[in-house]
Every structure is written in structure tokens, then in C-alpha cells.
Amino acid sequence: MNFLFEICLVVSVVLLGLLAGALWAEGALLVPYWKTLKAEEFYRLHPQYAPRLFRFFAPITAITPAAALVAAVFAWLAASRAAWVSTVAAVLANSLVAIYFGYFKRANAAFAQASIDPKDLPAELARWGDWHRLRVAICMLAFFGSVVALYLS
């Protein structure tokens, strides 16, 4: 059981690290670029990059919280010192899914439909960036929590 638990923890650490790094890169590279574009250019480019981003982020965003949850369950089953830390990491990781459905799904659909008035697009991109920074911070905290859990196991 402990070996399986440790494998789950390692998978959780790796996936959370990958997701945190990918989200950070998106926020550091793409969001500032999007903000420099005129609305017409943003809406023209969106159909090209949005599906690619979705194909990358959807699987890792779905699998990572599940892996963190499985690691937390195994931590409790193994009566590990890492149980609480694993649980916090899992809650944080799963909150990313809630944030997606609470904000990003609607915002991304509005971008895809070019339904935001061009004069309002800069404000919406700024809001998107703010929510994204929150998502990066939460994912980083979950990643660090999973590293601590691995250390404690």
C-alpha cells in the first residue's frame, strides 16, 4: 500500500508541477501578448490558438486534480503524516476545476464568439489575466503542498 501511495504522490507532484508551469507560462507569455492586440486582431487569431490551448490544457487540467485526490485518499488509507497536506493539495487542485467552470468557460466562449464589444475587450482580458494569476497561485500552492506531502510520506 505504501508503495502505491508513494507512486500516487509522485504522479501528483509531477502533474501539479507541469500544470503550474504551463499555467505560469501561459500567463507570462500569452496574456501580455493578447493585451497588445487590437480587438479585431485578437478575434481573428482566437480560432487559431484557442483549440490548441484547449487540447493541451483540458486533459492536464482534468487529470491533475484527480491524481491529487487519489494521492490524498491513499495518504489517509496509509495513515500517513502527509494525509492533511495531501488533502489541502487536492482541494486546491480541484478548486482549479471550479474556477474554470465559474469563470473561464464563459469568458473563453465569449472570446470564441467574439461577443465582447471591442471597447470592452481590454477590460475583459485584464479580468481574465487576474483570474488566471489566481489560478497560477492556487496551482503553485497545490504543487508545493504535494512536494511537502511527498517529503512527509
Q: Which residues contact 22 (CB under 8 A, 6 or more apart)?
A: 56, 57, 60
Whole-prediction pTM: 0.91
Largest pairwise CA distance in the chain:
57
User: How do the pLDDT tens digits run along the chain, 153 residues long?
Assistant: 588 888 999 999 999 999 999 999 999 999 999 999 999 999 999 999 999 999 999 999 999 999 999 999 999 999 999 999 999 999 999 999 999 999 999 999 999 999 999 999 999 999 999 999 999 999 999 999 999 999 998
Tell me the C-alpha distance between 87 and 72, whole Å: 5
Tell me the C-alpha distance between 65 and 140, whole Å: 13
